[in-house]
Structure 1
Amino acid sequence: MRILVTGGTGFIGEALIPALLDKGHSVTVLSRQASPSTIAGVTYIQQLEEITESIDVVINLAGASLAGKRWNTAYKDEIISSRVALTRSLGEYFSAAEQRPSIWLNASAIGYYGPREDEELSEDSSSGHGFSAKLCRDWEASAVEAAGDARVCLLRLGVVLDEGGGAYAQMAQPFKMGVANWLGDGKQWLSWVHRDDVVSAFCFALENDQLDGPVNVTAPEPVSSRGFCFAMRKVHRTLVAIPMPGFVMRAMVGEMADELLLTGQRVLPAALMSVGFSFSCPSIDDALLQIEGER
């Protein structure tokens, strides 16, 4: 199949594209930047009008990082536009195309659920409150509208862990310096997922029409912030363990602290598990062993 990937040069896209190629698909990457490399089977474009073949599948990963900058009005507008406005522009383009994509895989995030303390959350759980929750609702709604009659999967990603980028680089930094820490009281849930399983989940959703609508892409064993700290101490030699107080986090990153760091969600991948998806890293110990290797 011919697949259009937006955000294909990002942390997830750079791992997903080789997997799609291995499965025999051809890939067109929509990127604001010029082609970063030449890969057989991949075409890089900067505008939708450069598409020269019918697109069978859209994989929409594009979006400015929520943790890229301190949140202010301008950066929030950039976050929204890079997701909602872009998705709407995709819908407008394909509504005028001779052939519309039959499958639409749209990234979203577990921020959809908002802060929920110890409540176990599945795809049937209601949306929460706050900027992240509203962003995810609007993004998902724009994807459903843009996709038209296509099968749509809304893949709500947890915190994606792997070496070479993403959240893990920042999360691991103090441990590599010998300091074990957790955020706030450490009781908030961290619903995480290894990047390999994210790639597998997208490929699985592409090939399995049993999946339709919201799909939580999180490992089946979420951990607390303290639980993550405990697991990290198994793979990093640390000299001291101290919390990062909430007031320090709020001073450092503002509103983002209460939305993304000091609160969390206990999200379970009910839809994936119900159709037989198997995680390569179901536990945080599995994931850290994959990332850091045996020590």
Structure 2
Amino acid sequence: MNILVTGGTGFIGKALIPALQDRGHDISVLTRRCDHPIAGVDYVQELAALNSNIDAVINLAGASLADKRWSTAYKQEIVASRVDLTRALGDYFHSADVQPSVWLNASAIGFYGPRTDEALAEGSSSGEGFAASLCRDWEAAATEAAGSARLCLMRLGVVLDVDGGAYPQMAQPFRMGVANWMGDGQQWLSWVHRQDAVSAFCFALESPKLTGPVNVTAPNPVTSRDFCHAMRQVHRTFLAIPMPGFVMRAMVGEMADELLLTGQRVLPAALAAAGFEFALPGLASALERIEAPSP
């Protein structure tokens, strides 16, 4: 297949592209710049520069929610990088001679909003807050952009790996000998190892019956305190202290209550029903893989 990937130079994209190439697909990446190009990939700065008809779109692009404090201006940048780009993709392909047959669009479990212990599957309702509103608008834009293509809305959990995403920040205190958790530590962390996230995208691409929302989370979510305990098994720590909620709010503002002090217990029901198998379903094995010495 000829596949267009947006966000292909990001944390997930740079791992996904080699996996797609290994499956024999031809890849084009829409990007403003690429400092570390992957051999065999066609990098384009505008859609008009595409060299061939596109069979599938994998839309991963979007400014990080955690890079900056959520000012009004940064919220607008976050929305534009997701919703506006997705609409632009739709406008291009709606006028193209050949339409993609498959569209995989990134979303996030922020769709469900802050929740307590409720187990959430793809049919669960959306929640409140900026992240939930963003995901609803992004998924609506993707639904319109995809047209008649088979659409999977890939609701990503917290993607873990050693060289990017949230993990380096999460691990930093433990590497300094301090074990900690945020707030009361009872909020759920629905995580997934990047290897399984990449495999889930490949699986969705190649599974004709899979459509609609797809939770990309490991089948064993944990609480913040559980995460702390698991991290102490791979890091030697001398002190265990919580990060109080008021400190988190002072540091990052609104983001604290939406992303850090609350969470969601999300289960990958659609992937399970379709027969997907996780390579790293448990946090302990995932952390062992992440912290393993480089060969």
Number of residue-to-residue matches in the alignment: 293
Amino acid at match of 2:72: T
> CA separation in 1, counterparts of 2:37 and 2:115?
44
Amino acid at match of 1:243: P
Amino acid at match of 1:15: A
> CA separation in 1, counterparts of 2:61 and 2:67?
14
Amino acid at match of 1:22: D
**Residue 267 of structure 1 corresponds to which residue in structure 2?**
266
Matched, 1:283 2:282: yes
Amino acid at match of 1:178: G
> CA separation in 1, counterparts of 2:178 and 2:37?
41
- 1:170-249 equivalences under 5 Å are 170-249=169-248
What do the CA deviations read for 1:164-191 (whole angstroms, capped 9, x no partner)? 0110000000000000000000000000
Secondary structure of 2:165's counterpart equals coil
> CA separation in 1, counterparts of 2:5 and 2:143?
17
Amino acid at match of 2:180: N
Secondary structure of 2:233's counterpart equals helix
Q: Which runs of 5+ in 2 are unaligned?
A: none
Amino acid at match of 1:147: A
Deviation at 1:97, TM superposition (A): 0.4
Amino acid at match of 1:84: V
Amino acid at match of 1:129: E
What do the CA deviations read for 1:22-61 (whole angstroms, capped 9, x no partner)? 000010000111x334433200011111112100000000
**Residue 26 of structure 2 corresponds to which residue in structure 1?**
26
**Residue 137 of structure 1 corresponds to which residue in structure 2?**
136
**Residue 88 of structure 1 corresponds to which residue in structure 2?**
87
Deviation at 1:293, TM superposition (A): 2.4
What do the CA deviations read for 1:203-248 (whole angstroms, capped 9, x no partner)? 0000001210000000000000000000000000000000000000
> CA separation in 1, counterparts of 2:37 and 2:156?
29
Secondary structure of 1:185's counterpart equals coil
Amino acid at match of 2:94: S
Amino acid at match of 2:31: S
Question: Identity, % of aligned pairs?
Answer: 72
> CA separation in 2, counterparts of 1:171 and 1:51?
39
> CA separation in 1, counterparts of 2:122 and 2:225?
26
> CA separation in 2, counterparts of 1:156 and 1:286?
23
**TM-score, length-normalised on structure 1?**
0.98
> CA separation in 2, counterparts of 1:92 and 1:267?
33
What do the CA deviations read for 1:71-92 (whole angstroms, capped 9, x no partner)? 0100000000000000000000
Amino acid at match of 1:215: V
> CA separation in 2, counterparts of 1:178 and 1:50?
50
**Residue 5 of structure 1 corresponds to which residue in structure 2?**
5
Q: Which runs of 5+ in 1 are unaligned?
A: none
> CA separation in 1, counterparts of 2:25 and 2:36?
18
RMSD: 0.8
> CA separation in 2, counterparts of 1:24 and 1:39?
15
Amino acid at match of 1:288: L
Secondary structure of 2:215's counterpart equals strand
**Residue 108 of structure 2 corresponds to which residue in structure 1?**
109
**Residue 161 of structure 1 corresponds to which residue in structure 2?**
160
